[in-house]
Amino acid sequence: MSTIRPTRRPALARRRAALMLAGLPLAGTVRAQAWPERPLKLIVPFPAGGGADVAARTVADRLAAALGQSVVVDYRPGASGNIGAEVVARGPADGYTLLFANEFLATNPVMFTSVRYDSLRDFVPIARVASTPAAIAAHPSLPVKTFGDLVALGRTRPLNYASPGVGTGPHLFGQMIALATGAQFNNVPYKGSAPATADAVGGQVDFIVSTLAPMVQHLNSGRLRGLAVTGARRAALAPDVPTLVELDPSMARYDVWYGIFAPSGAPAPVVARLQQAAAQVMREPEVAAKLRAAGFDVEPSTPAEFTAEIRSDIERWTRVQRDAKIPKE
């Protein structure tokens, strides 16, 4: 009877496999340390030349320096930001394509039935870059001097207000004020802040709720009467205009925020590298100074805090849409 001796090959193969597996984390770490190895693309879903463009380019330039690779700004306007957002959400999740977004990530899912992304599930925040308050301003022909006068008049008859568009934050915030005060405010949507401001100056509407920067020259010239800004503090661009919270502590604060996002499937080491580089950029005094000069507030937050802010905004606008019975588009 022959004796069958066990071969050593299976044991040797197991040891080799174990060594190979043990080397995988190291290889992944090396790859993460080498990233990025080619230029990045920052998708901006707004037209060039606006306020978002200034903020995006300011941060992109410094982010490129921090990462050691160029960051190309790629404009994809249209569909209230949805086109650019879908490009990032459906594109390669390798960290090389990022999204520069604002509050539309919180308003579009509430107001549009055709949104093909989930703002919380499909994106991971890299950095909260900046914010800007909205302003409430009336045409001088309207017989109001203060925000309180506006509310009192709106309780006696309907007033029309211009906003940058259906489903935008200013549209919803105007309805939020109406719900809180019992005033009758009817939204007149425009395709952006510039045409909304132009018609407010021309007297085609009673008042306007929109971002502050396009209104400043008209506030200074008296062609619009500033009634309130919606941020936590008075705006440097309009220091004589009180905040809503200052006038009535029960009123909610509202800011249009801007931030950078990666697709949620991006590798964790890459996301961490991006967050680290963006945090470094946001600590640079010259970046903050340039953003403030363009009318932005700079209030950095952690990615977790930014996520919580977006979730809170979605919940707030959902309540406004429901309570004001605003039809979805």
**Tokens 């809503």 correspond to what residue?**
244
Please tell me whether residues 74 and 96 are part of one structural domain: yes
Number of domains in the chain: 2
Residue-wise pLDDT for 37-77, tens only, equals: 999 999 999 888 777 888 999 999 999 999 999 999 999 98
What is the domain extent for residue 183?
A: 133-247
Selection from 5, 299, 327 nearest residue 189 by Cα? 327
Q: Are 195 and 241 in contact (CB under 8 A)?
A: no
Residue 272 has pLDDT above 80, yes or no: yes
Do 68 and 146 fall into the same domain?
no
- CA 252 → CA 176, 224, 245, 298, distances in Å? 9, 23, 7, 20
190-244 pLDDT, tens digit each? 988 889 999 999 999 999 999 998 899 999 999 999 999 999 899 989 999 999 9
Confidence bin at 79 (pLDDT 50/70/90): confident
Long-range contacts of 21-29 (CB under 8 A, 24+ apart): 28/269, 29/269
User: Domain boundary residue among 201, 225, 247?
Assistant: 247
Give the pair of three-digit tokens for residue 221.
């010239």
Report d(CA 98, CA 73) in Å as an integer: 10
Q: How far apart are CA 316 and CA 128, in angstroms?
A: 19
Q: Are residues 153 and 187 in the same domain?
A: yes
Residues 163 and 187 reside in one and the same domain = yes
C-alpha span between 89 and 211 (Å, rounded): 27
Same domain, 204 and 293: no
Q: How far apart are CA 218 and CA 210, in angstroms?
A: 13
Rounded Cα distance, 282 and 284, in Å: 5
In angstroms, what CA-CA distances link 118 with 45, 233, 254, 328?
A: 16, 32, 22, 17
For 21, the 3-state DSSP assignment is helix
Tell me the pTM: 0.85
Checking 247-250 for CB contacts under 8 A at 24+ apart, the result is: 247/146, 247/147, 247/148, 250/180
pLDDT of residue 10: 47
In this structure, are 127 and 172 located in the same domain? no
Banded model confidence at residue 300, pLDDT cuts 50, 70, 90: confident
CA 267 → CA 28, 31, 96, 117, distances in Å? 10, 11, 11, 19
Looking at the fold, whether 259 and 121 belong to one and the same domain comes out as yes
User: Do 174 and 125 belong together in one domain?
Assistant: no
